[in-house]
């Protein structure tokens, strides 16, 4: 659903089947402006993926989208390097300001 929403704004996306593939893709020097991570992922959980991505040295904006929106959950993701924490579903209200920021508007 996130990819469909991004496509509706003309954003090019790359999706992967599991978290290990995500880390491998990001480590392959493909450049990203925004990385969207979910908490529950096949292979590694979202917290571990976020840690590994930041350890690689990726500095782009990272967005966590999750159905688990408790304060401790939010703090855990922010501590790993996520820039924005959003409760599902990702919608226009949350996405448009982020896209504008990335576009320099």
Sign of CA dihedral 55, 45, 72, 70: positive
Residues paired with 79 in a beta bridge:
none
User: 5-51: per-residue pLDDT in tens?
Assistant: 899 989 999 888 888 999 999 999 888 999 998 877 777 788 899 99
Distance CA(3)–CA(73), nearest Å, equals 24
CA dist 38 and 86 (Å) reads 10
What tokens appear for 64 in the block? 């966590």
Q: Residue ranges per domain, the chain?
A: 1-99
Length of the chain counted residue by residue? 105
Give CATH for domain 1-99: 3.40.50.2300
| pLDDT bucket at 105, cuts 50 / 70 / 90 | low
């Amino acid at each position: 659903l996130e990819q469909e929403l991004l496509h509706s704004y003309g954003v090019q996306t790359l999706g992967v089947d599991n978290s290990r593939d995500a880390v491998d893709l990001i480590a392959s020097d493909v450049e990203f402006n925004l990385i969207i991570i979910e908490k529950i992922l096949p292979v590694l959980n979202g917290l571990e993926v976020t840690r590994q991505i930041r350890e690689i040295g990726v500095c782009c904006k990272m967005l966590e989208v999750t159905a688990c929106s408790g304060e401790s959950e939010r703090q855990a993701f922010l501590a790993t390097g996520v820039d924005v924490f959003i409760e599902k579903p990702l919608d226009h209200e949350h996405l448009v300001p982020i896209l504008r920021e990335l576009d320099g508007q």
